Amino acid sequence: MGKATGFMEYNRQTFKERSPAERTKDWNDYSVPLSEQEVQEQGARCMDCGVPTCQSGMEIDRTTTGCPVYHLIPEWNDLVYRGQWKEALRREHVMNNFPEFTGLACPAPCESACVLGINEPPVAIRTIERSIIERGFAEGWVIPEPPKTRTGKKVAVIGSGPAGLAAAAQLNKAGHLVTVFERSDRVGGLLTYGIPEMKLSYDVVKRRVDILEQEGITFQTNTEVGKNYPVSALRSDFDAVIMCTGATVHRDIKVEGRELKGVEYAMDFLHTSTKSLLDSNLEDGNFISAEGKDVIVIGGGDTGTDCLATAVRQNCKSLVQFDVYDKKGAIRDEVGNPWPQYPQIHRVEYGQKEAAAVFGEDPRAYAVMTKKFVGDEDGNVKEVHTVNVKLKIDEQGNRIREEIPGTEKVWKADLVLLAIGFSGPQQHLIQQLNVETEANSTVKAEYGKYTTNVEGVFAAGDMRRGQSLIVWAINEGREAARECDRFLMGETILP
């Protein structure tokens, strides 16, 4: 490495943030880039560690550590330190088609596997990754690179989320004619309508989609295969199909009062807000509004955090986030959660910071389980009844939550957002294609092969593996493209 002692000389520094109180007044990016020198110093912290576990994606105890797309992290860290930004961009694109997406919205499992992280703050890999790609766009280095020859083979990719976009990009590189079908009015899937503008702007998605279009990929929006585009046409018009529709069936909560008005899925809240913002700057009113309401978000993950940030910008009256888990410690448990596992520690994310700035305290309530919703005479939710719980392991090793007597509580609520994840993919397309599924409703297709029981039909991303990370979706989209290319041509040069 260029700076063998860099990790001893420089402290970890990530993207700065705008003032939480100020940024809640707009929908712009809440982060502030580092200077060129600051990013180079962060690159200098990358050690000559011998075995770069950061770039090898693994699943340990149901969590991801290391990078699933096998990013060449030490290489571009070193190149940034040396000031060779254009070469760093080239190396960054070798294993990841969309470093701008992962640089903004990936939880960075690469950093949890950083060797420096054993006893020091890890290298700020995600910050460096995003800095490289943004420099590339700013300098005009990211340009369309259409294939020199075409194979004449046609491939349909269903779904334009990260898996679908990655599959399309790779198949196009191989020379195939690719059409991407998207049921929404804009390309991007959950990148566009599942992540708010201040965290991942649609402009970031659109500029990449524009390049993919210039490279020869066709995008067909407002088209849901199996509904307004027949499966029979899909099979007759294309030589192969890759399904990347995601896992979009919401997990629900089965308690009394669930049917009340004002109890909404978090993704519906986020989707309608973003669409209205992009369509009319929220002037059309076609969104679920939190304005003037007492809002409760059920779920402690990233989607819940995005709901907090969105509700604050919509000028909600009050805001609480329920987390069914206990509050985690500030440092990892070295016995139960050792390196290189993803550290299970207490974090304060951007949405919590913003809620605290507006309302004076962190909005989270821990170890809380919802018991029922209570409505008014018009069928609108007005209360949420809860009880505190503690986690126990029964004699069979099952994790159960035991209610704690005397901890019952009633919370005022006009809007309740369910941010508890997804249970699997929607089934109508799967059934029309006669594709087999696993017991959990995901598509049956072996990892690394992605072939379904129907010849020429492949599946990748969340609809195959279940709800997961953007970086896993990109990994699977790329690999499914490789296997599809092999199916079409008998061999493949795709990685």
11 class by beta-carbon count within 10 Å (0-12 exposed, 13-18 middle, 19+ buried)? exposed
Query: Tens digits of per-residue pLDDT, 7-56?
Result: 999 999 999 999 999 999 999 999 999 999 999 999 999 988 889 999 99
Could you tell me if 174 and 261 are in contact, meaning their C-beta atoms sit under 8 angstroms apart?
Answer: no
Do 111 and 210 reside in the same domain of the chain? no
pLDDT in tens, 401-441: 999 999 999 999 999 999 999 999 999 999 999 999 999 99
pTM, two decimals, is 0.96
Same-domain status, 394 and 292:
yes
pLDDT of residue 103: 97
In this predicted structure, the answer to whether residue 224 has a pLDDT above a threshold of 80 is yes
Domain assignment present for 189? yes
Mean pLDDT of the chain: 96
What pLDDT does 62 receive?
A: 84
Going by pLDDT thresholds of 50, 70 and 90, the confidence category of residue 483 is very high
Residue 293 within any structural domain of the chain? yes
> Is residue 235 located within the same domain as residue 273?
no
Question: Domain containing 332: what range?
Answer: 252-420
Q: Note whether 437 and 449 are same-domain residues.
A: yes
Dump pLDDT digits (tens) for 255-271: 999 999 999 999 999 99
**Considering only CA atoms, which of 438, 476, 454 is closest in space to residue 231?**
454
Mode of pairing for the β-strands spanning 381-393 and 399-403: antiparallel
Residue bearing tokens 């990148």 = 191
Same domain (yes/no): 41, 129: yes
Categorize the per-residue pLDDT at 394 as very low, low, confident or very high, splitting at 50, 70 and 90: confident
Report, as an integer, the average pLDDT of 447-469.
Answer: 97
Shared domain for 392 and 479, answered yes or no, is: no
Q: Final residue of a domain: which of 366, 400, 420?
A: 420
Query: How large is the average pLDDT for residues 330-353?
Result: 94
Contact predicate 154/172, CB 8 Å = no
One domain for residues 322 and 205? no
Q: Inform me whether the pLDDT recorded for 79 exceeds 90.
A: yes
Can you read off the two tokens belonging to residue 275?
A: 């669409």
Q: What is the CATH number of the domain that holds 336?
A: 3.50.50.60
Residue 149: inside a domain: no
- For residue 219, the number of C-alpha atoms closer than 13 Å in the C-beta half-sphere is 25
- Residue 76 sits in a domain whose CATH number is 1.10.1060.10
- pLDDT reported for residue 156: 98
Those residues whose C-beta lies under 8 Å from the C-beta of residue 409, and which sit 6 or more positions away, are 385, 386, 387
pLDDT digits (tens, 9 = 90+) for 357-390: 999 999 999 999 999 999 999 999 999 999 999 9
- In sequence order, what are the residues at sequence separation of 6 or more whose Cβ sits closer than 8 angstroms to the Cβ of residue 157? 164, 167, 168, 171, 178, 179, 180, 181, 241, 242, 244
Contacts of 449 (CB under 8 A, 6+ apart): 483
Of 209, 170, 167, 234, residue with least CA distance to 464: 167
Q: At residue 61, does pLDDT exceed 90?
A: no
Per-residue model confidence (pLDDT) at position 1: 66
**Contact in structure between 262 and 415 (CB atoms under 8 Å):** yes
Any domain includes 145: no
C-alpha distances out from residue 350 to 21, 125, 159, 466, Å: 11, 19, 29, 26
Same domain, 403 and 464: no
**326 has pLDDT over 70:** yes
β-pair type (457-459, 240-243) = parallel
333 and 257 together in one domain:
yes
Of 86, 116, 139, which residue constitutes the final position of a domain? 139
Pair 386, 433 in one domain: no
Phi, psi of 407 (to 5 degrees): -105, 10
Per-residue pLDDT tens over the stretch 439-454 = 999 999 999 999 999 9
Section 132-150 average pLDDT: 98
Residues 172 and 45 in one domain: no
